[in-house]
Amino acid sequence: NSSGPNVCLHRSSTAKPHVTSSPPPGSNKQTPHSIIIGVRKGGTRALLEMLDIHPEVAVAATEVHFFDWDENYAKGLVWYRELMPYSYPHQITVEKTPGYFTSALAPERIRAMNSSIKLLLILRDPAERVVSDYTQVYFNRLENHKPVQAIENLLVHNGALNIRYKAIQRSLYDVHMRNWLHHFPLRQIHIVDGDALIRDPLPELQKVERFLDLSPRIVSSNFYFNQTKGFYCIRSNGRERCLHESKGRPHPSVNSTVLQQLRSYLQEHNRTFFRLVKRTFHWQ
Check the annotation: does 26 bind a ligand: no
Check the annotation: does 132 bind a ligand: yes
Check the annotation: does 279 bind a ligand: no
What's the DSSP call for residue 128? H
Check the annotation: does 250 bind a ligand: yes
Check the annotation: does 44 bind a ligand: yes
Check the annotation: does 166 bind a ligand: no
Question: Which residues belong to the active site?
Answer: 41
- Helices marked H in 144-212 — which ranges? 151-155, 166-170, 173-181, 194-199, 201-211
Check the annotation: does 248 bind a ligand: yes
Helix (H, G, I), strand (E, B) or coil at 92: strand
Question: Hey, which residues does 93 pair with through a beta bridge?
Answer: 58
Check the annotation: does 29 bind a ligand: no
Check the annotation: does 251 bind a ligand: yes
Q: Single out the residue of 46, 191, 40, 47 nearest to residue 130, CA to CA.
A: 40
What number of other Cβ atoms are within 10 A of residue 243's Cβ?
A: 23
Q: Single out the residue of 164, 171, 210 nearest to residue 187, CA to CA.
A: 210
CB 179 within 8 A of CB 274: no
Annotated binding site for 3'-phosphoadenylyl sulfate: 41-45, 124, 132, 232, 247-251
Annotated binding site: 41-45, 124, 132, 232, 247-251
